[in-house]
Structure 1
């Protein structure tokens, strides 16, 4: 820009000098023409000289007109050049300011360039490390490719196995569906069994309660049982009925039987069982026995012996007795019984349950 401005100033100066030189040459030529005319007048043919001079003047006039036109054009161009130079000076100042800003920005960019170069160095070092890592990764990738090939082969085998498993699973689902149906049936059966079990448990609880009550009753109820033998030798009634006293005590729980009187006295209200067995060993005779409750005959038995061997009479009875009721055995008049240490003739009884 500065070079352009200098060129324009030089051009302007040259145009001004050219204009002044042209005017001086015109004046000088005019003076020379006058002197020459005077000299020619005096020395040469005036007419010829004048014609030449007139032609020269015409040419000079034409030249002067052209020079004036050129000067006018040059002055206009010079004015335009001055305006252009002024505009270019203003632009130059703006460009100088812009240049200073660009220089400042260039300094900043230089600093950034230095920082970038530092970063580039770091990146190059990092890149070198990454190249090393990349080489390692390539090796690993190759290994992975080989592993992948092996895995693909294994996957193919697994897929085949999975297909087989799917087929097996389909069969198992069919069996499972049948099993689920069976399970549902079993659940219903189990529910019914649980209901039945609940009922059984309820009955069992009631039974256990009843058993406990029975055990309590059995534990708390009186225990009555006796057995007694008639004694040794013959027992004869004579002309009157004889109350039999079984004197040899075998068992007498509760002490309800008296070996002195031969009477059994009921200690509690209840149901009792009584049994007797008697013996006579003479032939061609009757053997007879009777049982009484509170003086009233309950049972009467007899048997006729014809074979000459020992004859037994035996029987039993269940009686409901009140407290204090008595039971005893009697031998009718004119009959006899026999007993010894073998206890052939006995009288027994026990409480079945109280009432």
Structure 2
């Protein structure tokens, strides 16, 4: 049997070619590793998202195929064959569509949030305005309350002043029956018991004394009635505290007679006015009210 040995030059050429191919393959693998490393560093997150979406799409496609298979009947398939994989371009297109839809929804949601923020801002402004209005109303109410208190005090003062300025009285000597009072050797206070009017209750029918309730100008007048007598006159005197003011006196032997007198006085609150019977004189009174004592406040001072 004859063995053919290739020439040495041919063997060297084959070794060089194999060495060049091995060096090219190593360079290619090194470049691929650098590229993959850069891709991993720059697109790690995007790759993960794409893989997840691709997996979801694969599951969706598989489920859709299962549903179609169920509805159309199960076709004969080789059990050893691998399931069909979805197209990466289709997955990317669906991902792009989904991203666009989400962007549109995001813009719509942002617009709604901006509208809600504007509405909330408007409501906050109205609430703040309402609070300011309430504060103003409270201030006005407080001022009105103070004014009302001042008004009530002023009204009370005016009522007191009115009540104090409403002073007037008139009384006759005898409350019932008729006859003479006196004579007496000394001047005797007369008590006019029959009240005709007593506005302000400044006159006392128990003591016969008028007490001034307020400072002011007053007018008083007294009338005394009697009958003629040879030795007994008819006479009375008007007194302020312990000071004689005026007298009313009459004397005649026969017939009816009367005497009267009056005066305007400036009194302080608490001053007392009374009428006394003239000494050794008498006065007459009955249901006709002949002998009277009257007085009233002209004006307060």
Same fold per superposition (TM over 0.5)? no
The structure with more radius of gyration: 1
Higher RCO (C-alpha 8 Å, min separation 6): 2
Q: Which has the higher helix share?
A: 1
Short-chain TM bin: 0.3 to 0.5
TM-score (norm: length of structure 2): 0.44
TM-score (norm: length of structure 1): 0.38
